[in-house]
A and B are shown apart, each in its own frame.
Chain A
Amino acid sequence: MSLNRIINSKSFDIGKSLLAFNLRYNGKFVPHPPQYRCFRTQARSLAYAKDLFLGQINKAEVFPYPEIGNEELEELNQFVAPVEKFFNENVDSKKIDEDAKIPSETLDGLKELGLFGMQVPEEYGGLGLSNTMYARLGEITALDGSIAVTLAAHQAIGLKGILIAGTDAQKEKYLPKLASGEHVAAFCLTEPGSGSDAASVTTRATLSEDGTHYLLNGSKMWISNGGFADIMTVFAKTEVVDQEGVKKDKMTAFLVERAFGGITSGLAEDKMGIRGSNTCEVVYDNVPVPLENVIGEVGGGFKVAMNILNSGRFSMGSSGAGMMKKLIEMTAEYATTRKQFNKKLSEFGMIQEKFALMATNAFVMESMAYLTAGMMDRPGVPDCSLEAAIVKVFSSEGSWICVSEALQVLGGLGFTKNYAYERYLRDCRILLIFEGTNEILRMYIALTGMQYAGKILTGKIKEMKRGNLGMAVGMMGQKLRSSFGGTKDFGLTGKDGLVHPSLADSALKLEQNVYLFGSAVESVLYRYGKSIVDEQLVLKRVADVIINLFAMTAVLSRASRSISIGLRNHDHEVPTPADTGTEMYHAPENNDASIKKIAEQILEKRAYVCAHPLDRTF
Chain B
Amino acid sequence: MKCARCLLRLQGLGSVVPSARTANRYAYLLQSTTAPVLTKPLVAFNSHGEASRHFHGSSAWAKSSPPSSDLKEKEKEIDKSLLSRDELFERVARNAKTKAAFDKAIEAFTKRDRRRRGHVEFIYAALQKMVEFGVERDLAVYNRLLDVFPKEVFVPRNFIQRMFNHYPRQQECAVQLLEQMENHGIMPNVDTKVLLVQIFGEKSHPMRKYQRLMYWFPRFKHVNPFPVPRLLPSDPVDLARLGLTRIANDLDAKVTVYQMPYTDITETGEEITLPHIVGTQSPDQVELLAKHDPSRPVFVEGPFPLWLRNVCVHYYVLRADPLPPGEKVEEPYDPERSLYYPLELSLELERDMGDLGDDFDVEDLDEGPVFAMCMTGQGDQATLNQWISGLQEANAVLGRVPTLFRLDAGPRELQSPAGESHRPHPPPETDPCVPGDEGGAGPARQEVDVTLEEEPQHSRGVKQ
Contacts and interface: CB of A to CB of B under 8 A. Distances in A.
How many interface residues does chain B have, given as a range? 20 to 34
A527 interface: yes
B351 A531 contact: yes
A527 B339 contact: no
B216 interface: no
A415 B355 CA distance: 50
B336 interface: yes
B366 interface: no
Of listed B337, B340, B348, B352, residue having the most chain A CB within 10 A: B340
Contacts of B344: 530, 533
B270 interface: no
A303 B336 CA distance: 8
Contact of B340 (A309, A525, A531): A309
Of listed B334, B342, B346, residue having the most chain A CB within 10 A: B342
9 contacts: A197-B339, A198-B337, A306-B339, A443-B341, A465-B352, A526-B349, A529-B349, A530-B349, A531-B350
A525 B355 CA distance: 12
A189 B342 CA distance: 18
Interface of B: 334, 336-352, 355, 357
Contacts of B349: 454, 458, 461-462, 525-526, 529-530
Interface stretch (A92-100, A444-452, A479-487): A444-452
Contacts of A451: 342, 345-347
A455 B349 CA distance: 10
A196 interface: yes
A189 B338 CA distance: 13
B337 A458 contact: no
A250 interface: yes
A302 interface: yes
Given A199-B334, A251-B336, A527-B352, A454 B341 contact: no
A527 B341 CA distance: 21
A296 interface: no
A455 B342 CA distance: 15
A595 B363 CA distance: 57
A436 B351 contact: no
A529 B339 contact: no
Contacts of A450: 345
B410 to A, nearest CB: 45
A528 interface: yes
A335 interface: no
Contacts of A454: 345, 347, 349
A250 B336 contact: yes
A350 interface: no
A62 to B, nearest CB: 24
Judged by DSSP, the binding face of B is loop
Interface in A258-290: none
Contacts of B343: 533
Contacts of B352: 465, 526-529
A614 B344 CA distance: 40
A532 interface: yes
A447 B342 contact: yes
Nearest to B353: A465
A529 B347 contact: yes
B347 A530 contact: yes
Contact of A443 (B334, B340, B346, B348): B340
Given A528-B351, A528-B352, A533 B338 contact: no
A305 interface: yes
Interface string A530-562: 111110000000000000000000000000000
B336 A302 contact: yes
7 shortest A-B CB distances, which residue pairs? Answer: A529-B349, A444-B341, A302-B336, A443-B341, A454-B347, A530-B347, A529-B350
Nearest to A451: B345
Interface in A509-531: 525-531
Contacts of A530: 344-350
B338 A529 contact: no
Contacts of B337: 197-199
A189 B345 contact: no
A324 interface: no
Interface in A402-447: 436, 440-441, 443-444, 447
A301 to B, nearest CB: 9
A448 B350 contact: no
A484 to B, nearest CB: 26
